[in-house]
Structure 1
């Protein structure tokens, strides 16, 4: 089992927007720069230490526009002490070469999905050559990757990446299990525990998120098994049956409350930066 079993606190990541939900259908989704910064501030206060950002354009559509990516990173960094992580997945239709440009926005961290997977009606492409190029660029630019696992086979790909490319900048290896995506691995305790048991010895921490109805079972299992949490409207639009999420802070606050009850209180941003070994890019 992962050495993360011994941790006393919980890293809470908030993924506030994603690339799938439409603003017209989910008005509470933070899609403008102002809404993103307001969300970041509120979620930091509620217990989040890391924010996973997908950017939208002025028409609320997913974008990898470099100006908007940099605006998002700078805005959140100026307003909070959160670890700022950019998605390199974008939307499933974004071309691979454009996804490689995300690091130009100088985030603290980036997602690195460890393989191709079915994603609803689409396919989320992450071929081996792309993964290696993204990893090497992250090493060169001193950006800490978060290795995203959508399928149990992706754990094997992570092993291969570490063997071929070595450790990330800072030497820490953080993994996030994304569970319950239609077409990918289910969001059940049994599958999560199987994935954790497969993790390479180099892994220093792991988190998990459950899509939709898998949200709370995955959250409870992750906390019980020594893992960390990702919550947010990218993954879950319902707080409870018949009760839509009105703000990402609700999901962060509930995660923080449950973690505290289980004597795994939320990490501070300072603790998170140390745990992930991120480079300090904040202005002094």
Structure 2
């Protein structure tokens, strides 16, 4: 039987302003409600950027808010909780390392610097290396974010230098279609997958904006997994804005089921990624 599909939901991100998209989940209550509905729709993992409602809903790496968010999601859902260590493009590197102190199940680890529209998403190798070692020590499973083919080579360097992550599994996510990164095309995704180190045990992909559906279809056809959510895509169809992240998860779950690769449960997701079970309930 074909392997089931991990559906990751990235509900918020750090770029879209709440004032421009009021339905974007930025408060803790909104995020918990979103996570619950997305879990019911077929998500196995939630990729979290935290916002501060008292500061215009801007992105924050405040340690108390990070820890409260992880705890609330863990108490309210069975989803694997992954915190972004990217923060926003304006967060200093040293602050981004403190994300692991919130004890998430997983964290993102972007494998290189990339132009991000008019900004620069800075990820020098010494920072990547330090983040990787800290994740190993704190038993947090990294998801290696690949925005370009050069990032695949950097992943190879990390594995050669530091060995396997905690849990022994290597999961990567191709983020395609970012202005400045690899294009959101089937050809680019195929090239990236073909270049992956043999240690990689699973991979997922997302297409930003209009690349959303083509990349999802290609990933499913190639045996990969999916990331969807309002961090990556605000339009459900031409002229139709996404009203809730669950809409995107439901569509991804439908595509996966049609391809005979139905959504993974959170328990299957934990096994796939080798995450430490920090739940106490």
Is TM more than 0.5 here?
A: yes
Q: CA deviation at 1:76?
A: 0.5
Q: How does 1:31-46 map to 2 (within 5 A)?
A: 31-46=26-41
CA distance in structure 2 between the aligned counterparts of 1:71 and 1:12, rounded to whole angstroms: 24
The answer to whether the aligner puts 1:104 opposite 2:101 as a matched pair is yes
Structure 1: any 5+ residue segments left out of the alignment? Answer: 1-5
CA distance in structure 1 between the aligned counterparts of 2:2 and 2:51, rounded to whole angstroms: 35
Alignment partner for residue 272 of structure 1, among 252, 269, 274?
Answer: 269
Alignment partner for residue 187 of structure 2, among 170, 186, 190?
Answer: 190
- The residue aligned with 1:239 is 236
CA distance in structure 2 between the aligned counterparts of 1:253 and 1:167, rounded to whole angstroms: 33
- The residue aligned with 2:206 is 209
Structure 2: any 5+ residue segments left out of the alignment? Answer: none
- The residue aligned with 1:27 is 22
Q: Does the residue aligned with 2:59 lie in a helix, a strand or coil?
A: coil
Q: Does the residue aligned with 1:9 lie in a helix, a strand or coil?
A: coil
CA distance in structure 2 between the aligned counterparts of 1:282 and 1:245, rounded to whole angstroms: 31
Counting matched residue pairs gives 279
CA distance in structure 2 between the aligned counterparts of 1:43 and 1:281, rounded to whole angstroms: 21
Alignment partner for residue 150 of structure 1, among 119, 140, 147?
Answer: 147
Q: Does the residue aligned with 1:51 lie in a helix, a strand or coil?
A: strand
CA distance in structure 1 between the aligned counterparts of 2:187 and 2:68, rounded to whole angstroms: 40
CA distance in structure 2 between the aligned counterparts of 1:247 and 1:168, rounded to whole angstroms: 33
Judge conservation of contact 2:2–2:260 (CA < 8 Å) in 1: no
The answer to whether the aligner puts 1:178 opposite 2:178 as a matched pair is no
Alignment partner for residue 43 of structure 2, among 29, 41, 48?
Answer: 48
- The residue aligned with 1:164 is 161
